[in-house]
Chain A
Amino acid sequence: MANTALPAAKADARTTGQRLVNQWLANIHSAPERGQPVAYIFVMGNAVEILRTFDFELVFPEINSLQTGVRKAAPDFLAKAEDYGFSPDVCSYVKADVGLMLSNMEHPSGTHIPKPDIAIASSLCNVYIKWAEIWERHFGVPAFVLDIPGKRFANWQPLPGTPQYGADKRWVEGQLCDLIERCEHITGKKFDPDRLAEVESNVNEMIRLWVEILKLNQQRPAPYNSMLDGLTYIGVLNAWRGTPEGVEYMRLLHDEVAGKVARGEGRVQEERFRLIFSGTPCYVNMRRMVDLFESHGGVFAASDYLTYAAGGLDSSGLFYDPSRPLESLAEVTTLASQLGLSNHFFSHQTLAQQVKEYAADGIVYHGIKSCRTVATSMADNREYVTSRYGLPTLYIESDLIDPRYWSDAQIKNRVDAFFEVLEQRTLKGGR
């Protein structure tokens, strides 16, 4: 059943983005009464294109969980999960979602999250799979695990045409065929390759614009902060990926950001330092974290988060070929995994590259207690980048949404000390 977006009050990116997020939540809420099937998926490796083909309404439990943090409701949800028996050492997104299950799926946004008809967990984060096992037990819905092989080592080059690339692509394509079969069984609809091609064309346009938007932040001053404005952008990008509404949003956003660049408007009034952020945000203190840096004139010009939390499609200009939609989906899914989504493990080179591209003064690593996917070896990564490339770096630690791990005074001290180093370098002309 098709959804129609509410009429736009004002066609600017911010209002349109808010409207689309509200519309998306309203669609989720009303999906059961409209008889629309619901898919639970994650931001990395989710096969959205196939689900759109079958008109699934998309629920992103990661976004539900981070929203409990943004809305300052996370502690209650986390407490429910820990009272239920989850260890404090388990991913706080998982625990917030369990808290939601124990709250009858009544989300603090006012949305009732319906139970899934299908739950897809990719292997790009192993916690996804354990999370889906929890859903299996709570909702009685079997998980569909999509294994997408990532890069095997730092210099891994998945070259189309090579036997290795062929093997990985064949594997992904085989599983996508399994997924299609399951979707056909759930929805009673036959797979329509033309519809997939249409969705892919929309994704292509969204990604073309998204890559442009990312590049616009290479300008000085940077028109937006990757770790504040950027988070809103990717929220809409994920929720509306592959739709005409998503394309329209990205177009508005692109024009708005390009306009800022043309007018020389920066995110911070006096941009003094340009930084790369590695890791996930602390959503309970998202604004506070950015303020700590912006008060020193530091802006996050880029972040690896905007790659992996947005599906990895900005990596190396990955576009679908809608004339052979399924094969192309397998190719791009494999390449996005190997070029963009499995970088956490070998990100030292990508980060050093981003420093060059964005003319950055340093890298900020945010270690997340909950998230071993991005944070396990950050300290080692930092050691390597600092010693190999001589870049100023900062390592701070907190959590995605658990405020117990945010230590404001300690983090502020470290940030202040980091800027002292940057100031010293500037004075010595070392920038």
Chain B
Amino acid sequence: MAITASEIETSLTGILARCHELSLRQHIGEDEADKVIGYFPVYFPEEIVHAAGLRPHALYGGGNRVEVRYADARIGSFVCSICRSTTELGLNGSLNGLGGFFAQPICDAAKHMAGIWGRNFPQQDPQILALPQNVNSAASVRYVYDEYQRLREILAQKIGHAITDDALRASLRVYNENRRLQRALYALKREDPARLSTVEAYLLIRAGTRFRREEHNELLRNALELLAARHIRPMDKPRVVFLGGFCEQPPLEMIETIEDVCFVVDDDLLIGQRWITEDVPEDGDPVWALAESYIQRSAASPVQFDARKRKEDVLMTMMREARAEAAIISAAKFCEPGLDDQLALSRWLDQEKIPYLVLEFEEKMTSFEQMAMQVETFAESLLFV
């Protein structure tokens, strides 16, 4: 018997509610204590953690649901919200169960997270995974490989035995499947945005940072099946690309506000989860394959210099492939890389006479009325001008 539209929506609502709950989950439960490795955005080679039998845990800050009580006294007043709220989650005990903490040299504030963690939570062995800012040298892959081997060794010591190549290959297979499913979600969003909203895609992907990838793969497969059968009403909204969500995450309400009047047909939200853009080769040395993929099969962000990926070209490609007519260029407050790129892209879009809207956000925002007005005016200008 065919499944009805109402049953599909009920099932999807159930999946999304679960994803929503998982996405907002900050506390590491006692059952997972010391078996979870936390990492600060953007990208982290989760496969190595997975192969160690541990769970990688992306730290995307506290959003607008964490009251900052301790961190203000530890961090400069001019620092972005994600650093502040992540520190708060550490200081208020939510992350006590972490068995490891890694920051990466994506920006200067992020590097300080390793120092803050080292002073306050030394038992979590906090440190920097030094992913390179130069990915254009012939020596880059070897360097990333060496740094990944260092991570492999740290985790092996933690679990008390070596992480075998076979275990790593098995993890690559799980994550390749996960990447294929994520790509399918984004393809669906690009082709048929009325069928899958950006908030929905976002929740489906973000939930994966809170449980094992095998389980996440199953969840995504179910969701994709239901989405394919979903009954949709045609809607006429301008198609836009959203940039600015590569590290600190805009509040869900902000994305909803935009989606009330626009189709967001592509974006860089949670780009670290989608950093590797193709399958990682499953034969050969698995660590080398992962390192090579970081350099050769990867996305772009304002915090990764890559001479092959001029930011203006990246945006143009996104817009062309998603058939977007406009762009929303956002940046988190106090995020220097985001703010710098916001200006560079704005000037480019001016030059190319492509409509765009500039927005600044903070994860802790709770009021969206003014933003709604801006976005509505922007959408109207796209529809009627």
Q: Name A residues whose Cβ lies closer than 8 Å to a Cβ of B.
A: 84-87, 89-91, 94, 121, 123, 125-127, 129-130, 133-134, 137, 142-143, 145-147, 149-154, 156, 164, 167-168, 170-171, 173-175, 178, 342, 344-348, 367, 369-373, 375-381, 383-384, 397
Contacts and interface: CB of A to CB of B under 8 A. Distances in A.
B134 A126 contact: no
Interface in B150-169: 150
A380 B147 CA distance: 28
A164 B108 contact: no
A122 B197 CA distance: 40
A123 B133 contact: yes
A397 B120 CA distance: 23
Given A154-B115, A345-B111, 14 more contacts: A86-B340, A87-B339, A87-B343, A126-B105, A126-B108, A126-B337, A130-B341, A170-B143, A175-B134, A178-B138, A346-B118, A347-B115, A348-B115, A367-B77
Contacts of A381: 115, 119
A89 B105 contact: no
Contacts of B142: 170-171, 174
Contact of B137 (A174, A372, A375): A174
B112 interface: yes
Contacts of B373: none
Nearest to B73: A379
Contacts, number: 186
B112 A152 contact: no
Nearest to A347: B115
Nearest to B134: A147
A397 B132 contact: no
B384 interface: no
A89 B127 contact: no
Given A142-B307, A380-B115, A123 B134 contact: yes
Given A133-B344, A171-B139, A372-B79, A149 B130 contact: yes
Interface in B81-131: 83, 87, 105-109, 111-116, 118-120, 125-130
Given A89-B334, A125-B108, A171-B132, A153 B74 contact: no
B76 A378 contact: yes
B279 interface: no
A85 B139 contact: no
B77 A397 contact: yes
B347 interface: yes
A350 to B, nearest CB: 12
A175 B76 contact: no
Contacts of B111: 126, 150, 342, 344-345
Contact of B138 (A127, A174, A346): A174
Contacts of A173: 139
B134 A130 contact: no
Contacts of B133: 123, 126, 129, 145, 147
B288 interface: no
B184 to A, nearest CB: 33
A153 B79 contact: no
Contacts of A153: 114, 118, 125-128
A126 B107 contact: yes
B180 interface: no
A89 B81 CA distance: 13
